[in-house]
Every structure is written in structure tokens, then in C-alpha cells.
């Protein structure tokens, strides 16, 4: 069964601290993996997209890694800001239009 599992389910950190979110997937065939940020009351916004041949990709303070062998990905947030408070969703593409969404990690950054 194609699944995307994320951990932790929720996370609270202090402003300025770093954090890492995890994503494990059992999806085949694998086309690409995306990380989305979803603010409360808004639609998801793409942060990074990686194909199986890419190990890491950065977008500002966000860095995503991918290990296609172990089927694991992580999203590292550096020097967190209050505006980073959101849900972060890991999405794996099977190919064509088919996307498998994780349930997300809710991040709260406190001052």
C-alpha cells in the first residue's frame, strides 16, 4: 500500500532554534518528493521538490534531504521564525497526476 508517514505529528520550538521533520514513504513507482508548507486557513505552498537522483535541496532556511534507498526524507528548518508556524506536508508523486500526501507535522514556533 502506498503510504507517506510523517513524524512528529506536532512540534513546539523556540524562535531561533533549528528543527528537523521526518518523512518515510512506501510508494512505488517513485517520481518525486515534495515538501509543502500550509499556513492556517491557506492552501499548501511548495517549498521543495526532489527527484530520486537528488539528495538535498534548499530553499532559504529550508533544506530537504532525500534517501531513495531507505525511502526517507527530512526537512530541516534553520533559525526558526514565528512565521514558520504552520503544517508541513510531505508529498510523494507516483507519476502523472497521482500524489500521495502525508498527514503533516504541525510546527509551532514560540517567542
Partner 1 sequence: DAGVIQSPRHEVTEMGQEVTLRCKPISGHDYLFWYRQTMMRGLELLIYFNNNVPIDDSGMPEDRFSAKMPNASFSTLKIQPSEPRDSAVYFCASSHSSIEGNDGYTFGSGTRLTVV
By CB under 8 A, name the binding residues for partner 1.
Answer: 31-32, 34, 41-46, 49, 51, 89, 93, 95-99, 101-104
* Closest CB 2 distance from partner 1, rounded Å: 13
Closest residue by Cα to residue 22 from 95, 68, 89, 98 = 89
* Closest CB 30 distance from partner 1, rounded Å: 12
Q: Do residues 91 and 2 make contact, with C-beta atoms less than 8 angstroms apart? A: no
d(CA 104, CA 90): 7
* Closest CB 43 distance from partner 1, rounded Å: 3
Q: Which residue lies nearer to partner 1 by CB, 3 or 18?
A: 3
Q: Which residue lies nearer to partner 1 by CB, 21 or 80?
A: 21
End-to-end CA distance of the chain: 41
Q: Which residue lies nearer to partner 1 by CB, 80 or 91?
A: 91
Q: Do residues 61 and 79 make contact, with C-beta atoms less than 8 angstroms apart? A: yes
Amino acid at each position: 500500500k502506498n503510504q507517506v508517514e510523517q513524524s512528529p505529528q506536532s512540534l513546539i520550538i523556540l524562535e531561533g532554534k533549528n528543527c528537523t521533520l521526518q518523512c518515510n514513504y512506501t510508494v512505488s513507482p517513485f517520481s518525486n518528493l515534495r515538501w509543502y508548507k500550509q499556513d492556517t486557513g491557506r492552501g499548501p505552498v511548495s517549498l521543495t521538490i526532489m527527484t530520486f537522483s537528488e539528495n538535498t535541496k534548499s530553499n532559504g532556511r529550508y533544506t530537504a534531504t532525500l534517501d531513495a534507498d531507505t525511502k526517507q526524507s527530512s526537512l530541516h528548518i534553520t533559525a526558526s521564525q514565528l512565521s514558520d508556524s504552520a503544517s508541513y506536508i510531505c508529498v510523494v508523486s507516483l507519476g502523472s497526476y497521482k500524489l500521495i500526501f502525508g498527514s503533516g507535522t504541525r510546527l509551532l514556533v514560540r517567542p
